[in-house]
Structure formats: C-alpha cells, structure tokens
Homo-oligomer: A and B are copies of this chain.
Amino acid sequence: MNLYVINFKGQTTVEELMNPEKGSPGAGEDMEAAESFIQQAMEIILQEAVKKATNVKEKVCEWRSPEQLKELLDLELKDTGESESKILQCCRDTIRYSVKTGHPRFFNQLFAGMEPHSMVASFITEAIKTSLYTYEMAPVFTLIEDALLKTMMKLIGWEEGGDGLFNPGGSMSNMYAVNLARYRYCPDFKEIGIYASPRLVILTSQEGHYSLAKAAALLGFGTKNVYVGAVPFFVNATAGTTVLGAFDPIDEIADICEKHNLWLHVDACWGGGALVSKKHRHLLKGIQRVNSVAWNLHKMLMATLQCSAFLVRDKSCLLQRCHCAGASYLFQQDKFYDVSYDTGDKSVQCSRKPDAFKFWLVWKAVGTRELEYRVDRALALARYLAQEIKKREGFRLVIEPEFANVCFWYIPPSLRNLPESLELWKKLHTVAPAVKERMMKSGSMMIGYQKHGDKPNFFRMVVISPQVSRQDLDFVLDEIHSLGKDL
C-alpha cells in the first residue's frame, strides 16, 4: 500500500513548486487513495459503530482504566505518519473502547439511542465542512435553520414568530438568554460594561442547571448573584430538571415576571421534547408567554450531538443588536443578495456549525406524529419502570416521575431489615457507586447515579430511545440486583 499517496505526498516538493519550469501535478491520484480510505472507514463505521454498537447482545462499554487504555492505544504523535492499515486499526480501536451511547442499554445521560437520519445528516455537515456566517457560505443550512426554528416556535406557541440560533450546547443557549436580558435591561452594558450598574441578580431554582451559575461567573455577575440579592432582571424556569425531571410552573412564574417586567427564560433543554406530544405538552403550560427558550433536540428527540436551539420571542433584532461586531470580511453590506440572510453576527461565536440540519432531516423523514409517538413511548416506558420498581423488593422510588427520569434506590438484602436511620442512609450511599463500578467493568449497561441534597446516592434511569424495550427495563432491575445483592 502506498503511504506516499494517502499522505498527499505524490505532489511536488516546495522547491520544485517555485520552479516555473515545472508544473504541479493534479491531485487525481491522491484523491483516489483518499476515497478508498474513506470507503474502507465507512464500512468500519457501519459494522462497528452502527450495527455492533446498537446490538443488545454486545457490551455497552469495554471498560479499561486510563492506564490500561494508554497501553492499548498508541497515542503518540510522531514525525512520520502511520500506514493506512494502522490508521484503520486506530479507527476500530477508538470505536471499540468508546461507550456505545446508541446501545439499547445505555441510560447514563440525557441523550441515548441511534437516530439514523440524524447520523446521516451529521456525516453530511462534516463532509460539507462549512460555517453559518453568511448565506453565501451556507445557503442550504441557513434556510434549514430558519425553517426548523420557525417550526419550533409554532410548537412553543409564538404565533408571531421570533428569532433564534443553534448553539454548541444548552449551556450556551442559557448564557445567551442571560446576556440578551441584560442587554434589554440596559443596552449601554454592551459598550461600557456592568461596572456602573446596580447589583443585578438572576433568579432560578436550586434544581436549575449549573449552566446558569457558569453564565453568571462568565458574564461578570458572579455566582453569588444567582438566587438572592438586589435588582432581579432575569428569571430562569426549568422545564425538565437534570436529575429529577421536574417542571417549574411556567404560567405562575410568568404572572409574576409580567407584573415586574422581568425577563423569563425557560431552560427546556431536556423537557422541550414534550412539546411535540399532545398528551404531555401540559408540562410546559404557559411557555408561549416567556421571553426565551433553550431547547436541545439532541436529548429527548435524539439528534446527534450537539443540536441546541436558542429561541427568543423578541422581534426587534435584539439578538443581532446585542451580539453584533460587524466584521468587514464577513458581513459586507455591499453584497448582491439580501444580507438579512447572513445570520452569523447574531452569535458570540465566529464559526458556527449547521446543527439544525441534524434534526431537520429527522423531522422531514419521520414527521411530527412519529416524534410524538417516540416521546409518548419513552414516557410510558418510564412509567412502566416506576411501576416495576414499586412492585419489586429492594427497590424504592426517590420521587414519582413527572418525565423520563426514574430515580430510585437499590437496597441490597443486607440492608433491607435495618431501621430507617442515618446509618442506613450512610450505607445506602455506598451501594450505587459499587454497583456502577461492577456495571462498567461488566459492560452490560450504563446508568448514572448521584447524591441530591441530603439524599444518599441513587440511580437515575433515563428512557429516551425507541430501541429500548420493556425487556431492557426488566433487565436493568434484574442486573442491578444481580450486581449488588452481596453488598
């Protein structure tokens, strides 16, 4: 095999290049080798990262400690390149030792499952390699982002539309909301900073996502100005908290915010998926009244990572006015087309990926009704699991599930007859980490755990993917018992 070619080395030297007697050859031969490499890699991806990774009979993860994994992988980067076959082996190993988040028994995060349309759309965005600065650089993706945002706004209930952007993650979307609210409160902040302002505070619940604290620190408010303090200007309501899957009552909060002219943002990164379901959208009752929404389509709706929308009801170009810097080399005003299609300056990023396509294609392919079916199915399965937990000895629900999070303790036989006491709780606190270690090492499934307030460590199951069956949920409970019964 000809490394020379794969490495684009079939070309002239730099010295030859500058010699006017010699031309540079075309890239034809190189491209053939590149195509053959890509084709072989695609086959590996299909076999290993799609077929095998979603097969319930295979492991969810092939656990290796950092030290073991460093030995297994040859991570060093050298002066000279490796052969094609070695690189293809790197690809196989990378897939092999990565966690299979598309596996039907992966329940560890607020994303799971394999969505074939979204995977394909991601491949296309990667192959196209462009950025959403300007219409001329991303004509199709600009229009697709616009179409998807508009459809989402309809689901939210903003009859007159609004504005929005896809961001690298929900934390960024929440940060955008805080920044827009501050800008609306006092547009001078953009130029003069917040030195001269009264102490501004951000209101959220204890269950709100930590991205609000990160935003407060980054944006110069300080984390202590989240929750309590002087002049409130921003309220965050959470639709689907991370651990418990709880929903703040948006309508009631909106009443107060409207009265006091506070910016109301809804962090619906996780719970936004319920908006496609007639049965469950009541969880977000009142969302049409809020100023802004963060909604991650890569969570309940299974887009590939990341696919995070930030939507704002304002129609006075607040997003543009708040963030614009007007770079001359991108946002020329003497272009030959309508420059309102150049969305890049609404973002605090420069390059921004066309993430919207990764869900637009899913929606196009399956339709709203199938999205609704998937959400309803996931929530029905979560309820099924909660019922099973109540039936089984040694399992106890932390809280009745409102959404797709099912939080529960496993109490091994040795602890079952102990009286409810601090000592029991202390012992119980060690059970989930111990079961998790055994789970990871066996690779049979993946579920998260955490402590929460004064509650000892408990498991958090998250049901998302239509590839999950009732049998998979029965397996989870059986397996936890089998891994932890001797503790």
Contact = CB atoms under 8 A, between A and B. Distances in A.
A471 interface: yes
A415 interface: no
A184 B383 CA distance: 49
A408 to B, nearest CB: 14
A210 B81 contact: no
A168 B165 CA distance: 15
A356 to B, nearest CB: 11
A220 B217 contact: no
Nearest to A370: B7
A133 to B, nearest CB: 8
Considering the complex of A and B, which 3 residue pairs feature the smallest CB-CB distances, nearest first? A220-B220, A193-B222, A168-B168
Interface in A105-147: 108-109, 111, 114, 116-117, 119-124, 126-131, 135-144, 147
A221 to B, nearest CB: 5
A171 B37 contact: no
- Taken together, the copies of this chain in the complex come to 2
B77 A368 contact: yes
Contact of A171 (B39, B136, B350): B350
10 contacts: A17-B377, A24-B471, A91-B121, A94-B128, A101-B128, A192-B224, A213-B325, A329-B448, A332-B457, A334-B457
Nearest to A446: B136
Contacts of A151: 77
A11 to B, nearest CB: 6
Contacts of A357: 94
Contacts of A129: 101-102, 111, 114, 119, 304-305
Nearest to A331: B450
Contacts of A209: 350
Contacts of A380: 14, 17-18
A293 to B, nearest CB: 17
A304 B126 contact: yes
A41 interface: yes
Interface stretch (A25-33, A253-261, A284-292, A394-402): A25-33
A467 B46 CA distance: 28
A367 interface: yes
A23 interface: yes
A440 B137 contact: no
Contacts of A54: 27, 31
Interface in A163-204: 168-172, 175, 179, 188-195, 197, 199
Given A143-B73, A219-B218, A45 B367 contact: no
A1 interface: no
A340 to B, nearest CB: 9
A317 to B, nearest CB: 16
A327 interface: yes
